[in-house]
Amino acid sequence: METIESTRKLTTEELACEQHFVNTIERTAEGRFMACLPFKKQVNPKFENTRGIALKRLRGLERRFTRDPALKIQYTQFLDEYRALGYMKQVTNWSKDEQEVFYLPHHCVFKNTADHSKIRVVFDASCKDSTGTSFNDTFLTGPVTQQDLMFILRILWRDDRTADVETYELTTVTYGTSSASFIATRCLKQLAETYHGKHPVAATHIRRDFYMDDLLTGADTLAQARTVRDEIIQLLRGGGFELSKWASNCP
């Protein structure tokens, strides 16, 4: 089947976002990507009372936990894992007057699987501060195509309602922000471009067959499919990306 390439021209904002990525992207010693947030040039982000808004939302969430203890257990387990993986880290020296940081409210969505429901905590970057500005309002969104961020994104959490509220920085690309999709998929594209000479087959599949974080691809024979799979795993691992939950129509 022949692949038809898109010829849509990028908008001015999308071009600016792409150029920002090219100019600022870096790699760690482990191979992971470090992406700077693509703020609009004319915007110098200053936010008002986002901590108070996030605290109000947290207390509402805790009232829901009182009515649904099982949800509280799942929610806590999710953020415990988030913390253990280094995706967020506690901040002890914060000020209530900070305007350079944005406290993101958070809530959960349910992921229904074959045997049970799991939750995923999502962050509300569309929430408005007291001036009517959301975090997403300050971003270039980038064209449709991970990982350390600056200290600007924070959340509030506590494992127990009777404990003090804790402040955490988010350290990875955060879904819910308008640029997250572009940054993540653009990093995949960059990885494929960088290693195309070493892994040409895998690079082609990564550039062509990813949709967000799902890879949908195939081959003419089982042997070819295994080769493609192994090469893709090796290439992605070089950028700190690990594939999971493989599925095949091969009996």
* Residue 121 and residue 76 share a domain: yes
154 and 207 belong to one structural domain: no
* pLDDT for residue 145: 40
Same structural domain for residues 109 and 204? no
Name the pLDDT band for 41 (thresholds 50, 70, 90). low
Same domain, 119 and 218: no
- pLDDT at position 43, please? 56
Within-domain flag for 26: no
Beta pairing class for 102-103 and 153-157: parallel
**97 CB contacts (<8 Å, ≥6 apart)?**
none
54 and 174 in a common domain = yes
Which of 59-63, 92-96, 146-150, 170-174 has the least mean pLDDT? 146-150
% of residues, the chain, pLDDT over 90? 20
Q: Write the CATH number for 92.
A: 3.10.10
- 197-232 per-residue burial string, b: 16 or more CB within 10 A, e: under 16: eebeebbebbeeebeeeebeeeeeeeeeeeebbebb
- Average per-residue pLDDT for the chain: 79
**pLDDT above 90 (res 69):** yes
pTM over 0.85, yes/no: no
Specify if 247 maps to a domain. no
Greater confidence (98 vs 48) lies with 48
**Looking at the structure, do residues 222 and 120 belong to the same domain, yes or no?**
no
**What is the pLDDT confidence band of residue 74, given thresholds at 50, 70 and 90?**
very high
At 182-195, the pLDDT tens digits run: 777 788 888 888 88
Residues 84 and 117 in one domain: yes
Q: Are residues 61 and 129 in the same domain?
A: yes
Same domain, 121 and 151: yes
For the chain, give the secondary structure using H, E and C. Answer: CCCCCCCCCCCHHHHHHHHHHHHHCEECCCCCEECCCCECCCCCCCCCCHHHHHHHHHHHHHHHHHHCHHHHHHHHHHHHHHHHCCCEEEECCCCCCCCCCEECCEEEEEEECCCCEEEEEEECCCCECCCCCECHHHECCCCCCCCCCCCCEEEEECCCCCCCCEEEEECCCCECECCHHHHHHHHHHHHHHHCCCCCHHHHHHHHHHEECCEECCCCCCHHHHHHHHHHHHHHHHCCCCCCCCCCCCCC
96-127 per-residue burial string, b: 16 or more CB within 10 A, e: under 16: eeeeebbbbbbebeeeeeeeeeeeebebbbeb
Look at residue 41 and tell me if it is in a domain. no
- Predicted pLDDT at 64: 95
- Domain count across the chain: 2
Domain, as residue range, for 200: 196-239
Residue whose pair of structure tokens reads 């799991």 in the numeric block = 118
Residue type, 106: H
